[in-house]
Amino acid sequence: MEKFYENTTENSLKSSLHKLILPQECANRTQKDQVPEYIVLHEPSTGLYKTPPSFNMQYYARKILIDGLQGKEVGYHFLVGDKKVYQFIPEDEVAYHTGTSFNYKSIGVERLVCMGISHEDALHNQAKLVATLMVKWGLGIDKVITHLETRRRSLIKPRVCPSRLLAGLYGGLPGFMQEISYCLKTRDLFFELFESTKLIDDLFKLKLKPEEDFVRIRGK
């Protein structure tokens, strides 16, 4: 499986993951436990090519914090940009990011969209994070679904998200899925998300067969 995003620059190689876990008093910290069964893909949308550069990582980090402090329950676990990844909510805690019952069994991963960023680098980082979460939580690629799909399966009014990927931009979902496979194959993962070196050892002991697009360390 070849790398899909050919234009990926060194930004993504240097990208780092930062835990900016929201304080417990935030309403978007639900304090409800979950075992993740799905990884849900999102993009914020303010209209194609219309999102100003000021809607950056800092903007959304501030927004989710202020929303939470003001009592808004909407939240998501990760925000991925072209140079950084932020985590706001622990993966084993419920977050309200789909408007469906998938909220109680999934990890929400938003990808930053604004003018001035490298979309391919952000997409690579999102694929790398999804690959990491698949390994960590023992999930196959069939458990990586779009926000739209959670609503379809719940028979709730559709919401076209992630809209750009669904519209086929940047290679659409097939390209994105290929990049996930590439990250698994080359072990291009955010290792800082693994809590112990034991888990990493287990990962490498498995002698991954990434062509199967499936990695299982724990879970069912």
Stretch that binds Zn ion, among 22-30, 154-162, 186-194, 204-212 (CB under 5 A): 154-162
Helix (H) or strand (E) holding 150: helix 147-153
Q: Peptide bond preceding 210: is omega within 30 degrees of 0, i.e. cis?
A: no
C-alpha separations of 202 from 8, 138, 194, 211, 214 in Å: 29, 12, 11, 19, 15
Residue 42 vs 77, nearer CB to Zn ion: 42
Q: Most distant CA pair in the chain: distance in Å? A: 47
Say whether residue 161 binds Zn ion (CB under 5 A).
yes
Stretch that binds Zn ion, among 39-47, 80-88, 165-173, 193-201 (CB under 5 A): 39-47
Residue 107 vs 161, nearer CB to Zn ion: 161
| Binding residues with Zn ion: total (CB under 5 A) | 3
Q: Which of 93, 91, 105 is nearest to 32 (CA)?
A: 93
Residue 8 vs 163, nearer CB to Zn ion: 163
Stretch that binds Zn ion, among 19-27, 47-55, 128-136, 158-166 (CB under 5 A): 158-166
Q: Convert residues 40-79 into a mask of x (bound to Zn ion by CB under 5 A) and - (unbound).
A: --x-------------------------------------
Residue 68 vs 75, nearer CB to Zn ion: 75
Cα 34 from Cα 53, distance rounded (Å) = 35
- Contact positions with Zn ion (CB under 5 A) in 78-137: none
Shortest separation between residue 196's beta carbon and Zn ion, angstroms: 31
Locate the DSSP E strands across 9-83.
16-19, 38-42, 78-80
Quick one: tokens of 20?
């900016």
Q: 116 in the Ramachandran plot: left (φ > 0), alpha (ψ -120 to 50) or beta?
A: left
Say whether residue 147 binds Zn ion (CB under 5 A).
yes
Using CB under 5 A, list all residues that contact Zn ion: 42, 147, 161
